[in-house]
């Protein structure tokens, strides 16, 4: 039986995200740049049965994690664009757990790995051109869905964390399973 502390470690292998912890912009951009290749390397050589293994009890499968990352980052890319073109827009959230159950979440991982690679190339073109003032632009979450106001620099920290977080789900599972 897995205890609560072990489940917390399996769920958050690099710890929980803390929006109060600042990130250097160049560091965040570097993490985003490396994310597609790191995720691709994490799943390289896995057989279908391994891809369909949950990374923790009650968690998503490796395959679902691979498809989730571009789903999430695509939403973030759009949020960045809204924040850069509107005054603190209220973003739309999505039911990620339901997205993970849609039919395309059973596709081969390469479909989402290729999408993630191209998305990050485009996203980084945008992010590398932002001014200091741009990084302070904000979006807001619907009531009760997240922080009231979130700067683009905080969002960069979140998606850098998110990138490392999900790669760690896969790499730690591989370590535990001896894959």
**Which range has the worst mean pLDDT, 23-27, 89-93, 115-119?**
89-93
In whole angstroms, give the CA distance from residue 111 to residue 107: 7
Looking at residue 59, its pLDDT comes to: 95
Four-point Cα dihedral 53, 54, 60, 65, nearest 10: -60
- Mean pLDDT within 133-142: 94
pLDDT > 80? residue 145: no
Q: What is the pLDDT of residues 29-46, one digit of tens each?
A: 999 999 999 999 999 999
pLDDT > 60? residue 1: no
71 touches 96 (CB < 8 A): yes
For 91, list phi and psi in degrees, rounded to 5: -80, 165
Looking at residue 35, its pLDDT comes to: 98
32 touches 72 (CB < 8 A): no
Looking at residue 146, its pLDDT comes to: 65
| Domain regions of the chain by residue span | 34-177
In whole angstroms, give the CA distance from residue 51 to residue 69: 15
Task: State which fold the 34-177 domain adopts.
Answer: 1.20.120
For residue 51, give every residue at least 6 positions away whose Cβ sits within 8 Å of its Cβ, in sequence order, or none.
43, 61, 62, 63, 66, 109
Q: What is the pLDDT of residues 88-101, one digit of tens each?
A: 999 999 999 999 99
Find the helix or strand (DSSP H, E) in which 151 lies: strand 149-151
150 burial level (CB within 10 Å; 0-12, 13-18, 19+): buried
């Amino acid at each position: 039986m897995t205890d609560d502390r072990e489940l917390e470690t399996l769920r958050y292998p690099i710890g929980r995200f803390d929006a109060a912890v600042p990130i250097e912009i160049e560091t965040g951009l570097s993490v985003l740049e490396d994310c597609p290749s790191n995720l691709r390397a994490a799943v390289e050589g896995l057989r279908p049965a391994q891809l369909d293994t949950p990374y923790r009890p009650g968690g998503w499968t490796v395959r679902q994690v691979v498809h989730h990352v571009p789903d999430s980052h695509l939403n973030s890319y759009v949020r960045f664009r809204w924040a850069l073109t509107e005054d603190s827009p209220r973003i739309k959230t999505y039911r990620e757990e339901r997205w993970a159950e849609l039919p395309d979440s059973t596709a081969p991982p390469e479909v989402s790995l290729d999408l993630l690679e191209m998305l990050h190339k485009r996203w980084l073109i945008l992010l590398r051109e932002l001014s200091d003032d741009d990084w302070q632009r904000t979006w807001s979450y619907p009531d009760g869905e997240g922080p009231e106001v979130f700067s683009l620099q905080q969002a960069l920290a979140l998606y850098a964390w998110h990138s490392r977080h999900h790669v760690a789900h896969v790499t730690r599972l591989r370590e535990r399973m001896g894959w």
